Structures are given as structure tokens and as C-alpha cells.
Amino acid sequence: MKKIKPFLKRYGNFIFLFVLIIITFSIIATQINFKDFLDTMHKTNLWYIGLCLLCVLIYWLFEAYILLKLMRRDHPDEKFSFAMLITIIGQYYNLVTPGASGGQPLQLFEMNKKDYSIGTGTAVLVQKYAFYQISVTFLALIAIILEHSVVFSSSIATKWLVLTGFLVNLLGVIFVIILAFNQKMAKTIINIIVQFLYFVHIVKKKEAALNKVDKFINEYSIAIQAIKEHKDETKQLMIISIIQIIIFYSINYWIYRALGMTDYSAFYIITMQAILYISMSFVPTPGGAGGAEAGFALIFGPIYGSVNTSVGLIIWRFITFYFIIAFGGIFLSGRELLIGNMKIQKSGSERFKYK
């Protein structure tokens, strides 16, 4: 039992993710005709799949650029390669941990190894998160306004997913705005939430939780203040963030075209993808597993058609989820091996000099 606990603590998220993947694809397998599925996969245009992968690369480059601009406020000589490393760490660990909770702590750890203070590193990551949260919610709001007739004429399950996801993201943006203009109110709101969670026995140690709230508010306030102080750059980075997310959303359109379909425009597919993204954002599983697949089937089923939906879903999840995990895992593992070999070589050379 003593050996099992450390194992589960270290690999529990990966086991949970693997089980979710097996269950999800088992459900998909019961809904498709494998002959039609294989025929459709065989006809897929690989040039468009290449465009999908290019969109992922551009998304990462934009992410790294935004991080670089934020890091250079306190570290003017920072290199783009380090910003790219922080990007890959964030992308990988956000996808393999529930609720995308693992990315920021490990990004902060890596920045701290390079002499970034906890305060500076936190400020950079909070500002980046604020840009992302506002961009996603803004695009979802525009999408819902433009396609409200489609959303509200959909099934009850689709409405529930869309409205719940949008509400969760909207509350996040509202909190960022409150934090920007009234720190006292933000602290009061979170204190009330902590008090309620303590009352229903979800939070066990109230004082420790309240201390964390104070630390959280102070760190986030510093980051939000930096956004307000650099108004021109904030506007530029906000625009870049919106373009970055639109490019990521366009992956679904290129998959749609790869399957030989042309009935719907890029604008419509991207708009519906914005709605899908907020629909799956509140699902607390790694990479929104389960919720992402269900949301795709509900929202894009009428667009792709019965056979193409399952093919489109698998390609979409492979590119936006499994490919990123595989690339990130290989890259970060290779980097650790390289660093380990360099340390061994350095240690060996030092012993040689000593002798």
C-alpha cells in the first residue's frame, strides 16, 4: 500500500486520462460503421491536415511572443527560445492535469530557476492568463450573438453546455475587472466563497484558505496593475491574443475541408468552434476529455454529418490534444535527458581536473 500511494500520486493523472480516452473512444466505436470510417479516413486531404499542424505551430509562436513581451518588462535581455520553452511546458501540463491546473506552477518553477522572482513570474503568467480569458470570452460572446438562433434552437444538452461554459468564463472576466478596479471587493467575494465552502465542509482549514486568498489577491493585483500601466502594449497583446485564438479555432475548418466538405464557410466553422471551446472549458478533466467529444458531437454533428463527425472528431482531438501531449512529452523528456548528460559530463570533467 505504501508503494501504491506514491505511484498514484505521480501517475494518477495519466492513468485517469488514459481511462477517459479508452471510455470515450469505446463509445465512439459503438456509434460508427468502421468500413465507412476507414473509407473517409483514406480520402482525407493530407495537405489540409498539414495546415492544421501549422496552425498549432503559429499558436505556440504567438503564445511565446506574448510571454516574451511580458517577461522583457523586468528581464529586457530575455530570449525567444526561453519563452518558447515556457509555452511548451504550459501547453503540455495544462492538457495532462485536471482543470488545466498543472501548467502555471511548472512554468513558474522553470522561470524561478532562471532567477525570476516568484512575484515577477506570477505577474507574467497572470497577465497572459488574463489576455487568454478575455479573448476566449469575447470571441464566445460574439459567436453566441451571431449564431443565437442556432444555439437556442439546439438540443437541451447543447444549450446547457454552451450557457454553462459561457457563464463560467464570463464570471472569470468579471472577476478580473473587479480585481482591476476594486481589490477590496474582490477579496470580500472570495472570502464569502471560502466561508461557504467551509460551512459545507469542502474547505477543512478556514484560516489557511483565507491566508491563501490574501496571497492570491495580492499577486493578481500586481499583475493587473501592470496591465493598466502598459496600456498601449496591453492593447497590442490583446489583439495578438484574439488573432492567436482565432488561428487555433480555424483548425476545425481545415479538418472540415480535409474531409472534402465545402457547404459551410470558414467564418461559420470558426464561430461554432468558439462556442464549442467555452462549452468544454468548465469540464474539470484533463484537456476537457469527455466534455470535448460530447460537445463536438452535439455542435458539429449537424455540420459534419453522421460518418464525417466521428472522423472529424478523432482528427480534431488528435491534433489539438494528443499531438500536443506527444510533442510536449517527447520534447521535455529529451530536454531533461540532454541536461542530465551535460551535468554528468561536467561532473566528470571536474573530477578529471581535480585529479
Closest alpha carbon to 161 in 310, 289, 249, 278: 278
Give the pLDDT confidence score for residue 11 in this predicted structure. Answer: 52
Asked if residues 136 and 245 have their Cβ atoms less than 8 Å apart, the reply is yes
Q: Give the percent of the chain with pLDDT over 90.
A: 22
Closest alpha carbon to 303 in 330, 276, 338, 334: 276
pLDDT greater at residue 118 or residue 137: 137
Pairwise CA distance, residues 66 & 153, whole Å? 38
Mean pLDDT of 77-104: 85
pLDDT of residue 263 exceeding 80, the answer is yes
Taking only the tens place, the pLDDT of each residue in 236-262 is: 999 999 999 999 999 999 999 999 899
The per-residue b/e assignment along 187-208, b for 16 or more CB within 10 angstroms, e otherwise, is bebbbeebeeebeeeebeeeee
Cell numbers representing residue 82 in the block: 526561453
Which range in 33-37, 143-147, 329-333 is most confidently predicted, on average pLDDT?
A: 143-147
Cα angle at 261 between 258 and 262, to 5 degrees?
A: 115
Burial of 213 (0-12, 13-18, 19+ CB in 10 A): middle
pLDDT of residue 34 exceeding 60, the answer is no
Pairwise CA distance, residues 186 & 168, whole Å? 16
Pairwise CA distance, residues 284 & 52, whole Å? 26
Give the pLDDT confidence score for residue 52 in this predicted structure. Answer: 94
The per-residue b/e assignment along 284-297, b for 16 or more CB within 10 angstroms, e otherwise, is ebbbbbbbbbbbbb
Pairwise CA distance, residues 58 & 287, whole Å? 20
The single-letter DSSP state of residue 160 is H
Q: What share of the chain is helix, strand, coil (3-state, %, to 5)?
A: 85, 0, 15
